[in-house]
């Protein structure tokens, strides 16, 4: 079984408006997922330094950020990052340029955990519905290309407020969308903005939103998670 999660950490600024990366690490440790897609993982201004210092993550968790080789001080690409357990093997990684009106991007990695090879995509899509659909089309095309011969998982903050329309309808043509639940706003969740999607070769056996006291305070989004197993076919 593989546990994955997606978490918009809001640059480590909590609902009390304080920046506290230690709280984010506490939530990550509570989640105990094998792969985590982060959004807003870098600070907004200046050199876009990582919201979670690498040394703090190393000393206080079993996670490491997949290096994206873009900016020296950043963890992600336009805030998108992928965390894995230290025992995971990363065979490849890349940044993805997607159509955008405002600065947006996506990231991908080929990860080996146990005997499973996973093509993982992390994304944070646009506020505009038209641009979200353009971005979804670009991600779907690349996910199909890079996912050949392995299982594929797509995760992130889609910024899609509708239940079944917009970019969700585009993703559904190729991937199953896990019913995790409402993740935004963390104090009183009303929207399913954060999503986990997977190829037909996987099945979600359990999923949810992480509602711990720490999570409700650490960011304006709650993390979503899913337990996935491989199908015998697909």
Q: What is the CATH number of the domain that holds 213?
A: 3.60.10.10
Task: State how many domains the chain has.
Answer: 1
Spell out the alpha helix ranges (H) of the chain: 21-31, 54-60, 129-146, 167-172, 213-218
Per-residue pLDDT of the chain (234 residues; tens, 9 = 90+): 999 999 999 999 999 999 999 999 999 999 999 999 999 999 876 667 999 999 999 999 999 999 987 777 889 999 999 999 999 999 999 999 998 877 788 999 999 999 999 999 999 999 999 999 999 999 999 999 999 999 999 999 999 999 889 999 999 999 999 999 999 999 999 999 999 999 999 999 999 999 999 999 999 999 999 999 998 654
CA distance 36 to 8: 10
pTM: 0.96
Ramachandran angles phi, psi of 215, nearest 5° = -65, -35
Tell me how far CA of residue 66 lies from CA of 54, 112, 161, in angstroms: 11, 13, 29
User: Hey, how many other C-beta atoms are within 10 angstroms of the C-beta on 224?
Assistant: 29
Domain that residue 100 falls in:
2-230
Strands 116-124 and 106-113: antiparallel
User: Hey, how many other C-beta atoms are within 10 angstroms of the C-beta on 101?
Assistant: 12
């Amino acid at each position: 079984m593989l546990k994955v999660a997606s978490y918009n950490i809001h640059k480590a600024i909590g609902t009390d408006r304080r920046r506290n990366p230690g709280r984010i690490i506490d939530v990550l440790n509570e989640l105990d997922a094998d792969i985590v897609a982060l959004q807003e993982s870098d600070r907004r201004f200046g050199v876009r330094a990582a919201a979670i210092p690498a040394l703090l993550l190393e000393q206080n968790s079993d996670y490491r950020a997949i290096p994206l080789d873009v900016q020296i001080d950043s963890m992600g690409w336009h805030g998108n990052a992928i965390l894995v357990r230290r025992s995971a093997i990363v065979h490849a990684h890349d940044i993805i340029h997607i159509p955008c009106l405002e600065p947006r991007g996506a990231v991908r990695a080929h990860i080996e955990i146990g005997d499973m090879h996973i093509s993982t995509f992390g994304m944070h899509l646009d506020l505009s519905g038209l641009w979200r659909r353009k971005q979804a089309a670009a991600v779907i095309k690349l996910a199909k290309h890079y996912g050949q011969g392995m299982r594929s998982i797509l995760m992130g903050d889609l910024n899609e407020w509708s239940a079944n329309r917009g970019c969700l309808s585009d993703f559904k043509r190729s991937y199953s969308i896990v019913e995790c639940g409402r993740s935004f706003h963390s104090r009183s969740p009303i929207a399913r903005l954060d999503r986990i999607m997977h190829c037909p070769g996987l099945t979600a056996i359990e999923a949810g939103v992480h509602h711990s006291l720490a999570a409700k305070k650490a960011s304006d989004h709650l993390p979503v998670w899913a337990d996935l197993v491989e199908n015998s076919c697909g």
